[in-house]
A and B are shown apart, each in its own frame.
Chain A
Amino acid sequence: MKRSLNLGCHLVACLFLFYLVGLSLTLLLLQNDFIEMRFDLEYLVTMSMGFGLWLYFIAFFMGAPQLAWWTRKGFALAALVATGLIVAWIVVPRGGLPILPAYITRKAWFLGSLLSLPSMNLWLLLWGVAGGWALVVSRQFPRTVPSSTPAHWDRFSSSSRLGICVLFGALGLFLLFYLGQGEFQRTVNQAAAVIARAEVGDVRDYLLSFGAYAAAISGLLMVFQSIIAPLPAFVITFANGLLFGWGWGAALSWSSAMAGAVLCYLLARFLGRPVVEKLVSKAALDWMDGFFNRYGKHTVFIARLIPVVSFDLVSYSAGLTSIGFWPFFWATGLGQLPATLLYSYLGQSATGTVKILFMLFVVVTALAVLGMILRPKLAPVTPKRGEA
């Protein structure tokens, strides 16, 4: 009970302090009309609190008390004084005290449709009292961090720690832009809708809508799918065949898939096995380890020829082995070439939806048969049912 109270107190103190940081930043940037007219700055509060929450978990659940910034007297004092000055300087003179803090907080906490501004002001008052109290108490009762946490922050290599920070930073930045920039959000939603439908015609129309930039967008879509695989690569390869003809389409599909593979390989090199295990699952990595043990340096080439083996899993796994960059590069390039040429040709040849569907059916059936033929050969290293 005492431990939970201590944890809760630190959580409130942390969130409150980062709330103040976000609020101050928002109020300051509101003064810049160029930014204000293009960006919903209120979400800086959301992201600042999210950052605080992230620090809280690393500080207390990954054994890194040095990241508990809210327990530092200087940081807390600076945030409180800065917020007070900004409110007094910007908000009060224009009569915005009953409006701006409540408005910003309400939007940042996604309560726009639930609370009126007067109600939000009452909640803000309570929040201020609770936050101030938590800041004082958390300094008097610092949290002791257990030495045996399952994933200790200090046990990660410096490059892994940097990699984790970069990944979460990128995630935070993306979320901030997604929430705050309306046109960016619309573009993401449209791209996501096209990807989710996974229809060749839709992807083609979407790419065409970018005019001269269609090839660049297609390439980025391919790289994107190489990393997180939201849609089968052959859909993009088909669309490229339709759009650019089989030759140029294949060249574009091949080179962008290569870029995706290289990126996965380098990410794995940079982040190390513990992080990659989180990305692609331990079972999948173990399965690929068996593959590498069995086929050695030819693994990448063989795996690329087998359509049922995940493209990105091979790239991530290769990055964790002693396989050099250029052998990986050439094996991937040669291995993916036949399928790329085939799909591009089919994409160019297919005109009607029925024809596309028929060809997809033929291709998928052929791949399934190929997979069934090859599966017994891979059986000794196939993970148990339900593991992957």
Chain B
Amino acid sequence: MRRKRAGGKVLAGVAMLISFVLLAAGCSGGPGTPDSAANLDGYYTASEAELGKDHPIYIDTEANLVKVYATVNSKYLVESTRHGMNWVEGAYGDKAVLQTYANPLAFHDALLRLGGHPAVGKGEDPSQAFEQTPAGKFIKGDRVLVTVTWEGAGRDYDINEVMVDSSGTELAYRFGGNYDAAKEKMTGCFMCFDSCSVGITSNSAQPMGAFQDGKAEFRGNPDVLPEDGTPLVLTFKFAQ
């Protein structure tokens, strides 16, 4: 009887819950759900061979590079998106061409360990992350070179071979940082296709809002990328 009553009451409260949560969602976004430092360490693996869903990030301090495990999301080989790679548990986890399994904060810290300089560091003014030009706001930060490979690929592909920008502009990733925004919003963004105030890295060749304003469309290259769900390894290193 109690269970029945509780179930019925839940239905009655839904209308109010909706208004409550809508308001809550529309406010400051509420508290973040940051992982503790100990939790972030769990995303790293000590050996490249162990890269996988459980340990998706490998930091090679000798070669000065970070490797990230991801899988293909084939929806965005035929539809356009502004997300290159996202954490599956982020708020926009399913919106990217590539899905990864690590918290973006762990990726941020991995790039820091390589000695990278973000456009905006922890606790810094986010308005300093962009270069304002007549063409728009472009993300700053150290330039990051990205390559992709997978079993049977035969070689490492440059990010420009596996992703398509409809405007023909080459992708040029930079270490935006955005640690505080990423922690607060938890969208899960690793790599954005245009300059972004949340993504850990984003494309400095396209200004902020390029996708939303219809200036460019982005998708994965269906002629190169393997089929849905195939595991990939992305390599990030800073340009000299």
Contacts and interface: CB of A to CB of B under 8 A. Distances in A.
Nearest to A388: B1
Nearest to B19: A220
A33 interface: yes
B29 interface: yes
B185 to A, nearest CB: 7
Contacts of B4: 281
A37 B81 contact: yes
A94 B217 CA distance: 14
Interface string A24-60: 0000001001101100100000000000000000000
B98 to A, nearest CB: 15
Contact of A187 (B14, B21, B83, B94): B21
Given A100-B78, A184-B21, A213 B27 contact: yes
A81 interface: no
Contacts, number: 154
Nearest to A95: B78
Contacts of A388: 1-2
B174 interface: no
Contacts of B90: 182
B80 A209 contact: no
Interface in A74-99: 94-96, 99
A43 to B, nearest CB: 11
B30 A95 contact: no
A280 interface: yes
A183 B25 contact: yes
Interface residues of A, number: 60
A227 B12 contact: yes
Q: Which of B21, B22, B222 counts the most chain A CB atoms within 10 A?
A: B21
SS of A interface (majority): helix
Q: Which of A30, A33, A185 counts the most chain B CB atoms within 10 A?
A: A33
Contact of B30 (A116, A170, A206): A206
A281 B94 contact: no
B24 A223 contact: no
A232 B27 CA distance: 25
Interface string B134-153: 00000000000000000000
Contact of A284 (B5, B74, B187): B5
Nearest to B79: A30
B42 interface: no
Given A30-B79, A96-B78, A263-B16, A187 B5 contact: no
B17 interface: yes
B33 A190 contact: yes
B222 A95 contact: yes
B117 interface: no
B196 to A, nearest CB: 12
B87 to A, nearest CB: 11
Nearest to B9: A228
Given A174-B18, A210-B27, A34 B77 contact: no
Nearest to A220: B20
A170 B17 CA distance: 10
Contact of A283 (B1, B18, B95, B211): B1
Contacts of A206: 30-31
A170 B15 CA distance: 5
B49 interface: no
Nearest to B92: A182
Interface string B159-179: 000000000000000000000
Contacts of A100: 75, 78-79
Contact of B24 (A171, A187, A279): A187
Given A182-B187, A228-B9, A117 B15 contact: no
Contact of B12 (A30, A34, A217, A267): A267
Interface of B: 1-2, 4-5, 8-25, 27-31, 33, 74-75, 77-83, 90-95, 185-187, 211-212, 214, 222, 227-229
Given A37-B211, A191-B21, 7 more contacts: A170-B14, A174-B21, A187-B24, A191-B20, A213-B28, A220-B23, A228-B13
30 contacts: A33-B80, A37-B95, A37-B212, A95-B78, A95-B222, A99-B75, A100-B75, A100-B79, A103-B228, A116-B228, A167-B15, A170-B15, A174-B18, A181-B25, A182-B93, A185-B91, A187-B25, A190-B30, A209-B28, A213-B28, A220-B24, A224-B13, A224-B16, A224-B20, A227-B9, A227-B13, A279-B9, A279-B12, A281-B1, A283-B1
Interface of A: 30, 33-34, 36-37, 40, 94-96, 99-100, 103, 107, 116-117, 166-168, 170-171, 173-174, 177, 181-188, 190-191, 205-206, 209-211, 213, 216-217, 220-221, 223-224, 227-229, 263, 267, 278-281, 283-284, 312, 386-388
